[in-house]
Structure 1
Amino acid sequence: MKLCSANLEYLPDNVKRPAYPRGRISEGIVHIGVGGFHRAHQAFYTDALMNQGQALDWAICGAGLRAEDRKARDDLKAQDYLFTLFELGDTPDTEVRVIGSMQQMLLAEDDPQALIAKLAEPNIRIASLTITEGGYCIDDSTGQFMAHLPQVQHDLAHPEAPKTVFGFFCAALERRRQAGIKPFTVMSCDNLPHNGQVARKALLAFAALAGDAYGAGLHGWIAEHVSFPNAMVDRITPMTSAAHRQQLLEQQGVDDHWPVVCEPFVQWVLEDRFSAGRPAWENVGVQFTEDVTPYEDMKIKLLNGSHLALTYLGFLKGYRFVHQTMNDPLFVEYIQTYMDRDVTPQLAPVPGIDLVAYKAKLIERFSNQAIADQLERVCSDGSSKFPKFTVPTLNQLIASGGELDRAALVVAAWALYLKGTDETGATYRIPDPRAAFCQALVASDEGLTGRLLGVEEIFGQHIPASAAFVEAFERQLHNLRTLGVTGTLTALLGKP
């Protein structure tokens, strides 16, 4: 059955569908960067609240700033912006649900003024973001906004036709300011430390550079009136494949151009700081808090850091899915030891969380056979992920005089992964916007350590300055070259 509004009543009984009349909902959120994670997370929570008869004035208007967003818009538009959330797990309690919380999706390249006008509407009270770690244009080594980037320079020169989220937000916020309308909350749902603070820093830096281009005094008005709550977001959401679509059709009878597949687990911890109100997401499981930092550190260092620790090793071994690495007892022991001995001692107590149970749940989630999470997805954009997910752990290990070999192996595995050939001889692409730059760092074995670790925007200053870390990195790199992944893990874990 083709998914669309007219066919909802004909879907199989086990497929849940919106319990609210979609004709009665109205938009309160504009979301920039409609992808799998947004649809499995924020759109899912909003739909769940609407199914309780609440938040009907908080529907989502999607927005795409990239040319590649067109296919997503076209697929969603063809089915009235409905999509299927297809949970995949190793237990029978998974669900299949049609999500109806999105009403439309605008493409910036078609009509930038239409998106500015939408953001300026009084009913839009939240502008949310999933624009990836690199989308905030912050240099990780300096913490400064990268004003030199071509897209930023374009927006500074052409404020009437922006291309970046910063240009669109400044244009819309200035309209709201002039009209006496409260600003929307900027709510980052990206997976990076202190995501709200990062969004605030980037937007204010852009507004300062723009000066009076958008309006005299806009920078100060944003600083005083716009809220930027931090959030911890969590749900493993693989890239939707043709096989997933076929599986949904064969098992559930739903013909969906772009379903979203995800694990059953979902978590959202959010600071309760909003400029103009918010949905009552707490009624569907969102945890509101005054300080998200301990939850954020736990998730980023344990889940995301562990993901990086296994993904490049797994790819070098010849695996292509996360669950394949977890079928290998050496990988499981390595990840468990990394979490217990290297990461956990660095974490502050997390209110309401038992870290032993949390780590056991991570092992269970990584081992999910049904979801078939792609290692390529986790490998992607490593040059942006390392500074956020791994480098803070490395820095604390160096500062405390801790063991370094397990953590150094993560970096060594990335170095070999960047060469583009695994242990079976198979070649693969490097999904990273800076792939050419990163691959040039490892092109020659001579001087590789200095070139790679010396990239300050990735590794900072402390890591290359630590003789102990450099030795550990070179030791693990040598082991990977001579012993292979299995031999390296065997030696590292002290196995006979």
Structure 2
Amino acid sequence: MSRLTLDSLVRSGRSPSLDRGALRTGVVHLGAGAFFRAHTAVYTEDAMLATGDTSWGISAVTGRSARVWEQMAPQDGLFTVTERGPGSGASRVVSAVTETLAGPRDPLAVVERVAAPGTRVVTLTVTEKGYRADPLTGRLDVRDPAVRADLEGAPPLTAVGRIARGLQLRMLRDAGPVSVVSCDNLSGNGDRLGSLVADFADALPGAEGERLRAWTAESVSFPDTMVDRMVPATTAEDLDLVEGALGLRDEAAVIAEPFRQWVVEDRFAAARPPWERAGALLTGDVRPWEEAKLRVLNAGHSLLAYLGLALGHRTIAACAADPVAAEAAHRLVHEEALPSLRLPDGLDGPAYAESVLARFANPALGHTTAKVAADGSQKIGPRLLPTVRAVLDRGGEPRWSALAVAAWMHHVAAAGPRVEDPLAATLAGLLPDRRRAADVVPRLMEAGIFPGELVADGLFTGLVAHWYGVIDSADTLALGKEIAL
């Protein structure tokens, strides 16, 4: 696939397309993975198609590796999005990307793009761990070696370092205001990102940091957003199926569910793409939407992943079809998550929860439990612990949230040093030789993930230890009976 082959697709009516010759770069995106391609890039292209304004082309920057660059660059930034599940549309070619940069190979080019006068928006999907924040405090982890290198003047490789150094160069060049839009699953993601950039500035020496912080406060906005679309990892079989359908090989193809949603705080420092013309909701308060998604969809996803691994399931759809796992997820979202939420106007909580559970059951996606289970130390806090606190505060027992935490701990104990997590070494170092509940739970409570009041809460830790023991018994019948109580 390339610009040459795109023309034939457009003529055949199989794909909408922008006028590539008129496309100009107005957006820099950090983290050009599958979710960006199936979500942010689609919204941005649809906004341009709806208005004819082609000034919002995207400079897409890869994150930790150059693999995505190797897929997209030879294809002139083109890729396909294929929907699977009820209501799916035809595969489409997305042509909103003007260039693809290999972030690890050319970090100074990334800084230049952020600082370019034509850049008015920076978006990012770097996952929770990409923010290099302390999971307990939420502050920038200035002890992280990569963060330290960025602070000491090395070509920046972290997301916050790239943004901060790009803003610094933008300030020096008087390139004008810009908005930085997080599209990751973090509560208050915009404010949190703004705080991390401020932490970076504060860690710079003297007047350098003070000047950057002052300019950022005046010229940069960090809107909150809520993003939602399930995008599993693309397999070799997926690539073959896309090739058979289009007659073209697409190494950067992505698969997604038909559902997509984007809620964006209307707080921008400069012009922005007209995303509302593509179906995004622009609002003054994103928090209720964020919290609903984190505590219902993301928490339910994590519970199914960790419990599914213990039950031997490879995919989330298989977990959703398992009566034991499905009942646990249902009770988590209906009995604990929904009562803890301030739902946004117009959102029917029970109907939303049921729609989420139905989406989990889509077998066409093939979303794996291992993929969803990755990086749990960064996900447990925002997805589950607010619900735990809310249930405890109203005098209840957070049984289902504790089950999810216990299932995560059991996964960590089973995987040991092989666990896929940025805190893998710390977690493995905490694990005792004996992997029983009485040994594992107190040790993993010391991982810097759980706030002190929860570590000291005997009801919560007791529930976690109880569920850990039930899971560890490998007695599915007993687990099912406990969940049905």
What's the TM-score, normalizing by structure 2? Answer: 0.94
User: What is the aligned counterpart of 1:430 among 399, 404, 419?
Assistant: 419
Aligned to 1:134: 129
Moved more, 222-231 or 135-144: 135-144
CA–CA separation in structure 2 for the residues paired with 1:260 and 1:15? 20
Aligned to 1:424: none
1:374 aligns with 2:368: yes
Displacement of 1:8: 2.1
1:452 aligns with 2:444: yes
Displacement of 1:486: 4.5
Aligned partner letter, 1:448: V
Cα deviation digits, residues 244-280 of structure 1 (max 9, x gap)? 1122223443321120111000000000111111011
Aligned to 2:233: 239
Aligned partner letter, 1:86: T
CA–CA separation in structure 2 for the residues paired with 1:73 and 1:450? 43
SS in 2 for 1:86: strand
Displacement of 1:468: 1.2
Aligned partner letter, 1:55: D
Aligned to 2:120: 125
Cα deviation digits, residues 125-156 of structure 1 (max 9, x gap)? 01111111122222232233211111111122
Aligned to 2:344: 350
Cα deviation digits, residues 44-73 of structure 1 (max 9, x gap)? 11111222243300000011342x1x1211
CA–CA separation in structure 1 for the residues paired with 2:344 and 2:410? 35
Displacement of 1:307: 0.8
8 Å Cα contact 2:202-2:209 kept in structure 1: no
CA–CA separation in structure 2 for the residues paired with 1:13 and 1:358? 40
User: What is the aligned counterpart of 2:355 among 353, 361, 378?
Assistant: 361
CA–CA separation in structure 1 for the residues paired with 2:87 and 2:400? 36
CA–CA separation in structure 1 for the residues paired with 2:198 and 2:333? 36
CA–CA separation in structure 2 for the residues paired with 1:438 and 1:225? 40
Aligned to 1:475: 466
Moved more, 384-393 or 18-27: 18-27
8 Å Cα contact 2:60-2:101 kept in structure 1: yes
1:145 aligns with 2:140: yes
Moved more, 434-443 or 97-106: 434-443
Displacement of 1:92: 5.0
CA–CA separation in structure 2 for the residues paired with 1:450 and 1:300? 26
Cα deviation digits, residues 191-218 of structure 1 (max 9, x gap)? 1110001110000110111135857612
Moved more, 268-277 or 4-13: 4-13
Displacement of 1:117: 1.9
8 Å Cα contact 1:170-1:214 kept in structure 2: no
8 Å Cα contact 1:11-1:254 kept in structure 2: no
1:107 aligns with 2:102: yes
User: What is the aligned counterpart of 1:33 among 31, 45, 66?
Assistant: 31
Displacement of 1:377: 1.5
Aligned to 2:275: 281
Question: Please, which runs of 5 or more residues in structure 1 have no aligned partner?
Answer: 422-426
SS in 1 for 2:137: coil
Aligned partner letter, 2:28: V
8 Å Cα contact 2:203-2:209 kept in structure 1: no
8 Å Cα contact 2:17-2:94 kept in structure 1: no
More helix, by proportion: 2
C-alpha RMSD of the superposition: 2.1
Moved more, 350-359 or 189-198: 350-359
CA–CA separation in structure 1 for the residues paired with 2:467 and 2:268? 47
8 Å Cα contact 1:171-1:214 kept in structure 2: no
CA–CA separation in structure 1 for the residues paired with 2:294 and 2:162? 29
Moved more, 9-18 or 412-421: 9-18
User: What is the aligned counterpart of 2:430 among 431, 441, 445?
Assistant: 441
SS in 2 for 1:8: helix
SS in 1 for 2:50: coil
8 Å Cα contact 2:135-2:377 kept in structure 1: no
Could you tell me the percent identity over the aligned residues?
A: 33
Equivalent positions of 1:301-316 (< 5 A) are 301-316=295-310
What's the TM-score, normalizing by structure 1? Answer: 0.92
